[in-house]
Amino acid sequence: MERIRAIGFDLFNTLVTVDPQTLARALDRLVESLGEQGLEVQVDGFREAYRRQARRFLEATRATGRETHNRFWVAAALGDMGYRVRPEDPRVGRAVEDYFKAFSSKCQLLPGTMDALRRLGSRFPLGLLSNFTHAPAAWSILEELALRPLFKAILISGEMGYRKPHPSVFQRLLEAMGVSARELLYVGDDPGPDIYGALDAGIQPVWTTHAQQLGVRHVADLAYEGLPSPDGRVPRISSWEELLALVGVS
């Protein structure tokens, strides 16, 4: 391994998690919010349409790398339910905000995360690069969990307009951290955006299965299902102690 001068991290399933029940309840809140604004839909039918449209939009990003947003998924799902509503409709915007309020307030750190970040931060500048469609919710989560002060650079796809694995977002991280690709270690859980994305950018990735080992990993990026496992190609960790040992932090 090259001499590492900085470490970057993914956010969800790497540092932070939320249980699938919370995601389901947040989607219920989105449906309730739509109904309160006169856009009443059958819950199960809308859930299915929303997930179908989310997958469609996310798969489209695989070709271009351009970020999508939940308001497009909501408007398209409403179209499936017979409503002609534009993504810019304020009713859609409010429903999306209500969804993220219900979701983001239930996020929590993986065990040992704060201690590990502080120990790593005593030796290396830390960066965060997250695929998150709605940047205000991401910032809220970082504030609520007291993560923001620990990072030299925080980059969120919803603000950049592109998402991992597009090489431009990794380049932005390198520039923000002031290091070359060979000097950055990037830790993430999702083989497509995190591991193969970092490799394509010339960055050394570390594949974390910590959340998976604990049984708290929520859904991965659906657009990258079926990719071959990176196991054997890159270092793999299943605990923070393994990462600390890997980079020589006691």
Domain-wise residue ranges, the chain: 6-18+108-247, 20-104
pLDDT reading at 52 higher than 90: yes
What are the tokens at 132? 């998150």
Average of per-residue pLDDT values in the chain: 94
- For 123-180, the pLDDT digits (tens) are 999 999 999 999 999 999 999 999 999 999 999 999 999 999 999 999 999 999 999 9
Residues with Cβ within 8 Å of 81's Cβ and at least 6 positions away in sequence, in order, are 41, 42, 45, 46, 49
CA distance 53 to 50: 5
Question: Which pLDDT does position 231 carry in this prediction?
Answer: 80
Using the predicted structure, report yes or no on whether residue 209 has a pLDDT greater than 90: yes
The predicted structure's pLDDT at residue 47 = 94
107 burial class (0-12, 13-18, 19+ CB within 10 angstroms)? buried
Query: Is it the case that residue 219 has pLDDT exceeding 80?
Result: no
Select 6-18+108-247's CATH number: 3.40.50.1000, 1.25.40.10, 3.40.50.2000, 3.30.2310.20.
3.40.50.1000
